[in-house]
Amino acid sequence: MSVKLLIFGALFVAFLTVGVSPALAIDASPAPPAPIIPNSLAKAIGFGLAALGAGYAIGNAGAAGLAAAAEKPEMRTLAIIITALGEAIAIYGLVLLFILPN
């Protein structure tokens, strides 16, 4: 579910920033029309969706990891690793935030 939310957020942000030209491009043609939503708002929506997906993943993986560790203590390390993979979703959203142009 959270990976689907991250992909949806990335596509949504890419769709909103379609009309953006590179910052250092030299072009004699008139400026392209402004995007429907400003880029900063699109970046905020994309990162917000990634953070929501990460929170959902961490909540579910953390609860399942604690339940597994209560029954079998040797499962603690695996539970921490799986919870960290959920946190990586938020990091991907943060990377997307810095990659997109202003």
Q: Quick one: 11 exposed, middle or buried, by C-beta within 10 A (0-12, 13-18, 19+)?
A: exposed
Answer whether 60's CB lies under 8 Å from 5's CB: no
User: Which pLDDT band holds residue 73 (cuts at 50, 70, 90)?
Assistant: very high
- Cβ count near 87 (within 10 Å): 13
Which domain, by its residues, includes 56?
2-17+37-99
23: in domain: no
Higher pLDDT, 100 or 21: 100
User: Which pLDDT band holds residue 89 (cuts at 50, 70, 90)?
Assistant: confident
86: in domain: yes
Give the integer Cα–Cα distance in Å for 2 and 21.
31
The sign of the torsion formed by the CA atoms of 6, 59, 64, 94 equals positive
8: in domain: yes
Domain count, the chain: 1
Answer whether 5's CB lies under 8 Å from 53's CB: yes
73: in domain: yes
| Global pTM value | 0.59
89: in domain: yes
84: in domain: yes
Place of tokens 């769709």: 15
Tell me, what amino acid is at 84? A
Q: What is the pLDDT of residue 100?
A: 79
Give the integer Cα–Cα distance in Å for 16 and 36.
7
Query: pLDDT for 15-60, tens place per residue?
Result: 655 555 555 555 566 677 776 778 888 888 888 988 998 999 999 9
65: in domain: yes
